[in-house]
Each structure stands twice: as structure tokens, then as C-alpha cells.
Amino acid sequence: MARNIRPNQKATFLIAQETLVEARKLVEQGAARSLNAFVSQAVEEQIRRIKQDQIDRAIEEAGRDPLFLKDVKDTMQAFAAADADAADRLEKRNSRR
């Protein structure tokens, strides 16, 4: 079975001694298979969080943009008949069961 193998890159970082001690303790407790894996997972999680925060901020900004809101309203109106038709078909299909 093929595994999803991503190439690794060696890197050197300075990290607070207390942080490193805590990370090693967590690895010893089974939080990750190795310190390298722990650090990699931590960095990946931080990247994920930052990206999600960026998406959330963009959505908030869009919610305050009058042109975007008008476009959403216009699109909803344009598809209102199709949405109603789809809802009606689903209701009929579900009532037959």
C-alpha cells in the first residue's frame, strides 16, 4: 500500500529551553512518535489556525462589504425559482418514502 510520504527538510531553530523541555515531556508521554514529529505537528497546526483565521477575517470583511452583500442578494434572487423547485422535488421524494 502506498503511503502519503512528504519529503522532509532539515531546519535549525532556536526555541526557548522551557518550551523544549515541555515538548520532550509530552513526547515521552506519547503525544507524538518523536520530537521531530511533535514539532512538525505543532507547526502544521499553527499554519492551519492562521489560515483559518485569515478565512474568518475575509468572511467578516465580506459581510461588511455592500457590493458583496448586494451580489449575494442578487444571486439568491436569481436562483430563488430553482431553489424552490429543488425543495419541492425533495419534499415530494421524501413524502413517498
Domain ranges of the chain: 27-64, 66-97
Asked if 17 contacts 11 with a C-beta cutoff of 8 angstroms, the reply is: no
State if pTM tops 0.85: no
Q: Confidence class of residue 1 from pLDDT cuts 50, 70 and 90?
A: low
Asked if 24 contacts 18 with a C-beta cutoff of 8 angstroms, the reply is: no
Interval 54-78: pLDDT, tens: 999 999 999 999 999 999 999 999 9
Interval 23-56: pLDDT, tens: 999 999 999 999 999 999 999 999 999 999 999 9
- pLDDT at site 2: 58
